[in-house]
Amino acid sequence: MTVRSLRDHGIVLAVAALVAMLSLSTDTFLTSGNLVNLLDQAVVVGLLACGMTICVICGVFDLSASAVLAVSAIVAVLVTERAGVPWGYAAAVATGALLGTVNGLVVVLSRVHSFIATLALGIVHRGLALVITGGAIVYPGPGHLAAFQSLSWPTVLGGVTASSLLLVAVAVLASVLLARTTLGRRVYAVGGNPTAAWLSGIGVRSVRVGVFAISGICAGLAGLVLAARGGSAQPDMGTLLELTAIAAAVIGGTSILGGQGAIWRGMVGVLILTLIGNGFNLLGWDSTYRPMIEGLLILTAVSTDYALRRNY
């Protein structure tokens, strides 16, 4: 296998190996119920990973994603209680887009590294969630609860939930955006070499604001899914999930240095992390060892990326 082939397809071989191992180790892995559950478990991190992958390709990080998720979920619940489910859903997406845009504007105007700026903004957004709710759990009300939770309902497609279909739709749209649009080409250019992109006439700042807005929308959708599952929202929901999303993007083969990657890679990374968690449950292993394995995977992925960049 050539260096380029290993870089492009090695992660797929890793997934195949995991699937084969779990299939041979347990009788329940390939059952329809477990596969549907596997897909459903991947939804929230998968939605965050779509936005995070685009950010990483563009050379920026969004460490406020889980806080945006929480604020969006809270707004969705509060608006649903007063105006109905459709407006609540729309409010979650709009809130995510607004906070994502604010993140991007702060990063490009302050010129503070996105890692630090979004870390600080994440704290601000968590504080906003606390102010809105007073630290309490909020509910959409009994009259709207059933409809609000419709995202968590199974569909006619073998019990696959509506939220799982939402993840598929978002992943497809994000893939098309990166591969088939001018914005997508500019995201790769800015992530690969922002100075060269600026000299070629690309608005580097506007592209960065755009990717933060996209990340915010994905976080808003993820918050909506979490709120629909629990029928409620609270300020501390989704804490640190942005780190899992970054891990998924990196494990999938998106370069941490920017300029290279794809949405399908992020989805493969999410699948690997979900398979590991599912395997621990099915095999009855001690879950306290799971973070160690995930951390080693991230370290291996980053080290491999650096090694392959030197050799190719």
Q: What is the pLDDT of residues 149-177, one digit of tens each?
A: 998 888 877 789 999 999 999 999 999 99
What pLDDT is recorded for position 311? 61
pLDDT at 130: 96
As a whole number of Å, the CA-based R_g of the chain is 19
Per-residue pLDDT at 9: 67
Confidence of residue 6 (pLDDT cuts 50, 70, 90): low
Residue 292's pLDDT is what?
87
pLDDT recorded at residue 305: 66
Grade residue 195 by pLDDT with cuts at 50, 70 and 90.
very high
Grade residue 17 by pLDDT with cuts at 50, 70 and 90: confident
In this prediction, residue 2 carries a pLDDT of 55
pLDDT digits (tens, 9 = 90+) for 221-271: 999 999 999 999 999 999 989 999 999 998 888 888 889 899 999 999 999
Q: Is the pLDDT of residue 46 over 90?
A: yes
Indicate if the pLDDT at residue 35 is higher than 60.
yes
How does residue 291 score in pLDDT terms, banded at 50, 70 and 90?
Answer: confident
Higher pLDDT, 17 or 171: 171
Which residues are CB-neighbours of 279 under 8 A, at least 6 positions away? 18, 21, 22, 25, 29, 285
pLDDT of the residue at 265: 92
pLDDT above 80 (res 59): yes
Amino acid at 268: V
What was the pLDDT predicted at 141?
A: 84
pLDDT (mean) for 280-302:
83
Contact 105, 216 (CB under 8 A): no
- Is residue 312 over pLDDT 60? no
Average pLDDT over the chain, rounded to an integer? 91
288-312 as b/e: b if 16+ CB within 10 A:
eebeeebeebbeebeeebeebeeee
Is residue 184 within 8 A of residue 32, CB to CB? The reply is no
Mean pLDDT of 72-90: 96
pLDDT above 90 for 49: yes
Domains and CATH numbers, the chain: 3-311 (1.10.3470)
Q: Predicted confidence band at 3 (pLDDT cuts at 50, 70, 90)?
A: low
Say yes or no to pLDDT of 138 above 80: yes
**pLDDT given at position 142:** 87
Q: Is the pLDDT confidence value at 1 over 80?
A: no
**11 or 161: which leads in pLDDT:** 161
Full-model pTM? 0.93
Q: pLDDT category, 293, cuts 50, 70, 90?
A: confident
